[in-house]
Amino acid sequence: SQQGEEDPQALSIQEGENATMNCSYKTSINNLQWYRQNSGRGLVHLILIRSNEREKHSGRLRVTLDTSKKSSSLLITASRAADTASYFCATVPSGGYNKLIFGAGTRLAVHP
Amino acid sequence: AAGVIQSPRHLIKEKRETATLKCYPIPRHDTVYWYQQGPGQDPQFLISFYEKMQSDKGSIPDRFSAQQFSDYHSELNMSSLELGDSALYFCASSPQVNTEAFFGQGTRLTVV
């Protein structure tokens, strides 16, 4: 990966359970974003958290950011089978860069 | 709502041939990105444009080039294709630098 690691690489849960995915990155950032990808399809933006924010919510999603540890977590509450997908974090490096650097992704399987 | 359009969706080329991938960003988006995603891999940043000017470059082989035209569409040109170039190629656009990116459905390139 150009960025760092995501943890876990794969996660299998039952509907209704919560899913937590973690992401680590290497450089100082402007912001961090989470994306979802269904198999072989385009990536869909879920949420953006800026470097001066610590937590953000959007519907069933909760994202935290710890810039001192260079890490972020994505929590999906009350998961549904339709949440089955790969989830990637992506960072925008600070310093005027115009790019998103993706982590390795977590494959989430939610079983009915 | 208009999305990012990529063409073609699928492309089969032989080794040493040339391929041209096209991307039509969302209207009034000023930033375009190109990514390469191998099977089971995270998206790798290739190149970005801001207002039709190249703004950032990633791990893009010298055999690849890209440009953005006056009508804002972008093309990724790939020459002397190798088997290892087989991948999904995504284009994305953003309404502003360092904000959320909207991805197209990708072009699946197979080099045989």
Contact check, Cβ <8 Å, B100/A30: no
Contacts of B92 (CB under 8 A, 6+ apart): A43, A100, B4, B32, B33, B35, B101, B102, B103, B104
Nearest CA to B11 among B2, B21, B1? B21
Closest to A92 (Cβ–Cβ): which among B42, B50, B98?
A: B98
What is the percent of chain A where pLDDT is above 90?
84
Give dist(CA B43, CA A39) in Å, integer: 13
Contact check, Cβ <8 Å, A42/B55: no
What is the percent of chain B where pLDDT is above 70?
99
Give the confidence band of A39 by pLDDT, cuts at 50, 70, 90: confident
Give the confidence band of B16 by pLDDT, cuts at 50, 70, 90: very high
Closest to B43 (Cβ–Cβ): which among A41, A98, A102?
A: A102
Contacts of B93 (CB under 8 A, 6+ apart): B4, B23, B25, B26, B29, B31, B32, B33, B101, B102
Contacts of A96 (CB under 8 A, 6+ apart): none
Give dist(CA B5, CA B37) in Å, integer: 17
Contact check, Cβ <8 Å, A97/B56: yes
Give dist(CA B1, CA A90) in Å, integer: 24
Residue A40 scores a pLDDT above 90: no
Of A7, A49, A63, A100, which to mutate for an interface test with B (greatest number of B Cβ within 10 Å)?
A100
Q: Which helix (H) or strand (E) holds B31?
A: strand B31-37
Residue B107 scores a pLDDT above 70: yes
**Contact (CB, 8 A) for B106 and B38:** no
pLDDT digits (tens, 9 = 90+) for B37-47: 999 899 999 99
Residue A2 scores a pLDDT above 80: no
Residue A4 has a pLDDT of: 64
